[in-house]
Amino acid sequence: MKYCFRISAFITIAALIMLAGIPAQGASGQRELRIADGTGDWGYPNPFGHYPRGPGYIRMSWVFDTLVWKDQKGYIPALADSWKYDPAAMTFTFHLNPRAKWHDGKQVTAEDVVFTIGYYRKHPYRFIKTTGIGAVSAKGARTVLIKLAKPYAPFLSDIGGTMPILPKHVWESVADPEKYLDPKAFIGSGPYQFRDFDKTGGSYLYEAFPDYYQGPPQVERLIYVRSGKPLISLTTGEADLANIQPEMGESLVKKGVKVISDERGWVKKLLINHHKKPLSDKRFRQALAYLIDQKEIVEQGHRGFATLASYGLLSIDHDMYNPGTPTYLYDLQKASRLIEALGFKRGKDGFFQKDGKKLKLALLSSNIAAGGESVADRDGEIIKRQLEKGGIAVELVNMEQATTDGRIKKWDFELAISGHGGISGDPVILNEMISSVYGGGSVTSARYDDNAALNKLLEKSLVEMDQVKRKEIVYQIQKIYAQELPAIPLYYPQTKAAYNPRKGVDWFYTKGGIAKGIPLPQNKLSLIKR
């Protein structure tokens, strides 16, 4: 028996040593790139199969192209070589690239674009809203005219740069697009052809489309892999690109990995149930803003890897950011005066009270973070401590994301920590994150309609096609938002990614985020020679 043990131990150790010597990455002869993320599965990479999240859209974007696209500076041609807007006719004209082909070799035509809009009207694709589009027509094989029902300022962001164009010859016979998963459902005009999706493994395989109209992509095979620890996968060579925690940046640079940072396009904010008293009074919300010390949250909760947010919601990196937006520097006295003006008095225990009842609020906290990831933080604890120091008792409730969101949706909360991206993209985000008309179905929107002037400005900003005039309106919206504070912006976390520079690909973050504002560095332009 003793010998059996020794032999087993020897075999086990020998096997482990042997296994340890196996390289972790693939052995394919082709040039390939591996991207890691913590979730893995983001749905099938076509407009009706991907999850309505940023990483889902990105996986689809390798296969399907849009009319225009964005790089580090702004809009650039994609399927459309050129475009112009005629204000008098309220019409966008797009001229398609004559070299653009579908993955099955057929030509991309103006008819495909006309068909796509019609198809999305019948079978909505949630990333775009077709309601503002009027008549759409083809003029010859390469020109598309899109008439707007009324002026719509975010057209390029919401439709031109986000709407994946579908091949008419494939989809015209498809009645139930969500259940259509035939190989033809993945025929696009993008730089990569979809080859496989392993649902349980959370991995995707794409292969370069050699006839891509902007030239064949630099890398033959593009692979997505799931990794709960993308940072480790980067260091072991299992992945070539992954999002990282900002504090890990320095150590990775020492290992020869390149680290890139995004603009401030994602905001963590405090949602407020403004239907409930005393939260329905803007003076009380302002008092909360004075009590919450953004700087302390950033320094203690995030070791400085974040920036204080503007109280006007829009990113401070945005071209339309209003530097004159009201601010609420930490001020205990101002907060006390505002709360006392509402009839509250300090009790012996230091907490405010009214009619013999202690002022107490419940705060929902979860781990929401940029890019669809979930990262634990101490924001809830810090805010609780700050509010209690200011005389408001807080019951901190930590829950998983879906439970928190479910309660927010039903207005079953008082305060909740939440967050969203898009604040460095088109200012339409203000409409969506403020008004219930645009964000009534969202759990990150404040759904606040109490200020008529604000509502009017939001409407006006959507139809103002002149960017200078629109900027003026957006300035005013930020100012009023900061006064009303339907939700309190807290900070912009640093968003970083790291990649292996030896693969010869320079990844970058897109200005305003990819398409509608996705804060990920996986822009397909990185793999296209320009």
Partner 1 sequence: MLIKNNSHKLLSGRFRGRAVAYLLAVLLLVLMSYYLPRLLPGDFVTAMYSGSPVTLTGEQEAELRAHYAAGDSLGHYLVNLFFLDWGFSFAFLTPVSSLILAALPWTLFLVGGAHLLSTLLGFIAGVEAAWRRGAVEKGLVAVMTFLEGIPEMGTGVLLLLLFSLYLGWFPAAGGETAYAGYSLPRWCLDVLHHTALPFITLVGAYLPGSFLLARGGMVVVLHSPFIKTARAKGLPPLRVRYGHAARNALLPVVTRFGLRFAFMLTGALVVESIYSYPGLGTLLFKAISLRDLPTIRAIVLFSSLLVLVINMALEVLYERLDPRVQHEL
Regarding 22 and contact with partner 1 (CB under 8 A), the answer is: yes
Q: Which is nearer to partner 1, 41 or 377 (CB)?
A: 41
Q: Are 125 and 47 in contact (CB under 8 A)?
A: yes
Q: Which is nearer to partner 1, 160 or 278 (CB)?
A: 160
Q: Which is nearer to partner 1, 110 or 244 (CB)?
A: 244
Regarding 19 and contact with partner 1 (CB under 8 A), the answer is: yes
Q: Using CB atoms within 10 Å of the CB of residue 65, give its burial: 0 to 12 exposed, 13 to 18 middle, 19+ buried.
A: buried
Regarding 66 and contact with partner 1 (CB under 8 A), the answer is: no
Q: Which is nearer to partner 1, 208 or 515 (CB)?
A: 515
Regarding 516 and contact with partner 1 (CB under 8 A), the answer is: yes
Q: What angle is formed at CA 252 by the lines to CA 247 and CA 257, rounded to 5 degrees?
A: 135
Site for partner 1 in 440-499 (CB under 8 A): 440-445
Q: For the CB of residue 303, give the shortest distance to partner 1 in the complex, in Å.
A: 20
- Please tell me the distance from the alpha carbon of residue 512 to that of residue 527, in angstroms, as a whole number: 20
Q: Which is nearer to partner 1, 145 or 520 (CB)?
A: 520
Select the residue interacting with partner 1 from 139, 179, 345, 389 (CB under 8 A): 179
Q: For the CB of residue 184, give the shortest distance to partner 1 in the complex, in Å.
A: 16
Regarding 303 and contact with partner 1 (CB under 8 A), the answer is: no
Enter the tokens of residue 56: 């889902």
Q: Which is nearer to partner 1, 256 or 356 (CB)?
A: 256
Select the residue interacting with partner 1 from 372, 427, 486, 493 (CB under 8 A): 372
DSSP summary character for residue 165? P
Enter the tokens of residue 324: 């004159």
Q: Which is nearer to partner 1, 142 or 407 (CB)?
A: 407
Q: Are 269 and 309 in contact (CB under 8 A)?
A: yes
Q: Are 391 and 350 in contact (CB under 8 A)?
A: yes
Q: For the CB of residue 431, give the shortest distance to partner 1 in the complex, in Å.
A: 9
Strand partners, 306: 493
Regarding 85 and contact with partner 1 (CB under 8 A), the answer is: no
- Please tell me the distance from the alpha carbon of residue 88 to that of residue 90, in angstroms, as a whole number: 5
Regarding 174 and contact with partner 1 (CB under 8 A), the answer is: no
Select the residue interacting with partner 1 from 31, 39, 123, 308 (CB under 8 A): 39
In a 13 Å sphere around the CA of 446, the CA atoms on its Cβ side amount to 29
Q: 338: Cβ–Cβ under 8 A, 6 or more apart, which residues? A: 283, 284, 286, 287, 290
Q: How many residues line the site for partner 1 (CB under 8 A)?
A: 85
DSSP summary character for residue 303? T
Dihedral angle over CA of 189, 43, 130, 467, nearest 10 = -80
- Please tell me the distance from the alpha carbon of residue 11 to that of residue 3, in angstroms, as a whole number: 12
**Stretch touching partner 1 by CB under 8 A, among 46-54, 146-154, 284-292, 293-301:** 46-54
- Please tell me the distance from the alpha carbon of residue 52 to that of residue 99, in angstroms, as a whole number: 30
- Please tell me the distance from the alpha carbon of residue 156 to that of residue 137, in angstroms, as a whole number: 18
Regarding 409 and contact with partner 1 (CB under 8 A), the answer is: yes
- Considering only CA atoms, which of 88, 108, 280 is closest in space to residue 190? 108
Select the residue interacting with partner 1 from 6, 229, 283, 337 (CB under 8 A): 229
Site for partner 1 in 89-148 (CB under 8 A): 124, 126-127
- Please tell me the distance from the alpha carbon of residue 162 to that of residue 516, in angstroms, as a whole number: 6
Q: 28: Cβ–Cβ under 8 A, 6 or more apart, which residues? A: 221
Q: For the CB of residue 363, give the shortest distance to partner 1 in the complex, in Å.
A: 17
- Please tell me the distance from the alpha carbon of residue 157 to that of residue 526, in angstroms, as a whole number: 20
Regarding 417 and contact with partner 1 (CB under 8 A), the answer is: no
Q: For the CB of residue 205, give the shortest distance to partner 1 in the complex, in Å.
A: 5
Q: Which is nearer to partner 1, 93 or 235 (CB)?
A: 235
Regarding 175 and contact with partner 1 (CB under 8 A), the answer is: no
Q: Which is nearer to partner 1, 115 or 204 (CB)?
A: 204
Site for partner 1 in 231-270 (CB under 8 A): 231-233, 235-236, 238
Q: Are 57 and 514 in contact (CB under 8 A)?
A: yes
Select the residue interacting with partner 1 from 301, 390, 439, 486 (CB under 8 A): 439
The one-letter amino acid code at 338 reads L
**Stretch touching partner 1 by CB under 8 A, among 62-70, 94-102, 268-276, 398-406:** 398-406
Q: For the CB of residue 369, give the shortest distance to partner 1 in the complex, in Å.
A: 9
3-state secondary structure of 517: coil
- Please tell me the distance from the alpha carbon of residue 489 to that of residue 314, in angstroms, as a whole number: 9
Regarding 20 and contact with partner 1 (CB under 8 A), the answer is: yes
Q: For the CB of residue 514, give the shortest distance to partner 1 in the complex, in Å.
A: 9
Q: Are 85 and 67 in contact (CB under 8 A)?
A: no
Tell me the DSSP string of 297-356.
IIIIIHTT-EEEPPTTSS-TTSTT--TT-------HHHHHHHHHTTT-EE-TTS-EEETT
**Stretch touching partner 1 by CB under 8 A, among 40-48, 99-107, 327-335, 352-360:** 40-48
The one-letter amino acid code at 299 reads E
**Stretch touching partner 1 by CB under 8 A, among 26-34, 69-77, 274-282, 329-337:** 26-34
Select the residue interacting with partner 1 from 436, 451, 476, 483 (CB under 8 A): 436
Binding to partner 1 by CB under 8 A, coded x per residue (else -) over 181-220, reads: x--------------x-xxxxxx-x---------------
Regarding 291 and contact with partner 1 (CB under 8 A), the answer is: no
Q: For the CB of residue 126, give the shortest distance to partner 1 in the complex, in Å.
A: 5
Regarding 41 and contact with partner 1 (CB under 8 A), the answer is: yes
- Please tell me the distance from the alpha carbon of residue 171 to that of residue 376, in angstroms, as a whole number: 43
Q: Are 429 and 158 in contact (CB under 8 A)?
A: no
